[in-house]
Amino acid sequence: MSLFRYGTRRSAHLFSVRQCQQRCYASRIDIPFAPPPVPVIEKCPIPTCPCASAPEGLDIEREQNINGSMAAYAEQILLCTGRSDWNSRIETDENADGAMLRQLKSFLGPGGKFSDPYHNVMLTNSSFPPTESPTHQNERSSQKASTSRSIPAAKPGKDPDVAQEQDAPPAGPASAFLLPSFQYIPTIPTESSSVEAFCKGFVLPAQLHQSHEKLSREQQNVIKRKPELQRRFVGARKVDEILVLICGHGGRDERCGKLGPILQQEFEDKLQRQNIPLLHDAPVAEAEEVNTEVEGYVPTARVGLISHIGGHKWAGNVIIYVPPSFAGNPLAGKGIWYGRVGPEHVEGIVSKTILDGKVIKELFRGGIDQDRGIIRL
């Protein structure tokens, strides 16, 4: 009966359509405009100078929207291994690097003592060389002197060179960058107690997520940072250099394994063209203070290969960390993730992102700031 209250069936239908149109129109204009959280350009500029060619036959996925494909994280521990490739699962390496990763994973991974679903920690290897401690340098010097005096006899049927490798001194402490904390820890002793102290002093959250309020005070103290432990790690310093990290993990996927070294060389070339000094030696401890307020200040830069960060099908995968000291750059203190990067994009990334502080939308996978806020477009 109510269907005909306002006239014919047709008039009632038209009235309902008009109401729906009004509601739909109102809902569209009520959505507030949200400007992007960072400066953005849509496309990467066409290169103005020659660039390397990408290898043929790489199966790169180019249809999916990669904006937001970066997994959320609170801290990236970037271990300095001095190597450019690793096992598919980096923690299975039978060396000091693998042992260090297994310890970190036992503390920070699922089920670990410091596991926190609201403070995910990403463990990554890098090709940056570690800082050698004076103790380890002395051990290596003594070993070299001993080797130069006499070559140890090989066991029957064994290569003499292999025998010398087996007599090598134990590996020294680890070195790591912490990002987006922008800290460098040159000396992390690898015994379990020191690795635990490193996690407590530098990696755990300074403020717990509100969901942890239901935990007891004792439980909260276990997973909360204790900055007083940082004093145990001599030489820890802030990071003032630009870091360009390129997935080159050929042991995991041949696309990154083939493309990574080409992109590394291309970034170094294009950075030098912009008069940005490159750092190749092991990072120093307690670096000299730099006056970042001088006109035209541009930081130094490091370009390195890193292990798997997800999304090999979007190779090349690149993370750019712009240090907080580069205050004139709108991306200072942020990490920007790019995918589908080819040699033809490197010049544009250097000029637009690293120098001008603009995110290139077509390549953007995600980002993070110093407050652990995830950047989405």
What is the model's pLDDT at position 203? 98
CB atoms within 10 A of CB 264: 22
β-sheet with 121-126: strand ranges across? 237-238, 183-188, 174-179, 75-80, 121-126, 301-306, 242-247, 318-322, 334-338, 364-368, 374-375
Q: 101: number of CA atoms within 13 Å, CB side?
A: 23
Reading the block at residue 55, the tokens are 């290898």
What is the model's pLDDT at position 151? 37
Residues 177-197 as b/e (b if ≥16 CB within 10 A, e otherwise) read bbbbbbbbbbbbbbeeebbbb
Q: Report cis status (omega within 30 of 0) of the bond before 310.
A: no
Are 110 and 123 within 8 A, CB to CB?
A: no
What's the pTM? 0.83
Q: Is 226 left (phi over 0), alpha (psi -120 to 50) or beta?
A: beta
Spell out the SS3 assignment of 38-67. CCEECCCCCCCCCCCCCCCCCCCCCCCCCC
DSSP 119: S
Q: 303: number of CA atoms within 13 Å, CB side?
A: 20
Low-confidence ranges of the chain (pLDDT < 70): 1-33, 133-171, 287-288
| Cα-based distances in Å from 324 to 191, 292, 297 | 32, 10, 13
Reading the block at residue 36, the tokens are 């992007």
Reading the block at residue 275, the tokens are 């008069």
